A and B are shown apart, each in its own frame.
Chain A
Amino acid sequence: KQEVTQIPAALSVPEGENLVLNCSFTDSAIYNLQWFRQDPGKGLTSLLLIQSSQREQTSGRLNASLDKSSGRSTLYIAASQPGDSATYLCAVQNSGGYQKVTFGIGTKLQVIP
């Protein structure tokens, strides 16, 4: 059974700092890994999707890496801004027939002006 863990559970940083969010998963037989952000009371917004054959994806100030063999992904946010404050979720889709999606519980990020 796939399990996804995100560390830290919460993070508070001053504006302008670079930061790293971590995601680990127990079953390396994955199809893809996706990072989302969720604002309070809102749905999820997709940030980056990494296919199992890829090592990383970049979008603006965000960079996500994937090390399938060690069961880890990181989300790097450069030059953080108060608007980055949200909960960041990692989701892993298994390969194989069912392609079940498993989410982590998220990292709550607060960027202080």
Chain B
Amino acid sequence: ETGVTQTPRHLVMGMTNKKSLKCEQHLGHNAMYWYKQSAKKPLELMFVYNFKEQTENNSVPSRFSPECPNSSHLFLHLHTLQPEDSALYLCASSRARGETQYFGPGTRLLVL
């Protein structure tokens, strides 16, 4: 186990649904990340939080809304997604920006 957990592990949702992905790290890290991994594409960094403050948003559509209530928890709120948003969503954390990132197992999302 990496110390980074993600729930749920699998999620199927319709385009009009609202759902949330949760990430929790037990490593005492200060930086947390959301990534999207689509088939046959490189991992895409979506959001970065450092000490609970969002420091990076890589042109992610507003139907994805991150929330970081504290350094241990990170959420990704999903609303009116499209089928092309189906992917593996990975959460990671690191002690500080630029240091080794530790990944969770991911949430496999299917949008119908």
Contact = CB atoms under 8 A, between A and B. Distances in A.
Interface of A: 4, 31-32, 34, 36, 41-46, 49, 89, 91, 93, 98-106
B75 interface: no
B101 A46 contact: yes
20 contacts: A41-B108, A42-B105, A42-B106, A43-B2, A43-B4, A43-B90, A43-B106, A44-B103, A45-B2, A46-B101, A98-B56, A99-B97, A99-B98, A100-B45, A100-B56, A100-B58, A101-B33, A102-B42, A102-B45, A105-B41
A49 B100 contact: yes
B43 interface: yes
B102 interface: yes
Contacts of A43: 2, 4, 6, 90, 103-106
Interface in B1-60: 2, 4, 6, 33, 40-45, 56, 58
Contacts of B45: 100-102
Contacts of B40: 105
Interface of B is mostly: loop
A32 B96 CA distance: 13
A46 B102 contact: yes
A5 to B, nearest CB: 10
B2 to A, nearest CB: 7
Contacts of B97: 99
A103 B43 contact: yes
Contact of A89 (B2, B33, B43): B43
Given A32-B98, A98-B56, A103 B103 contact: no
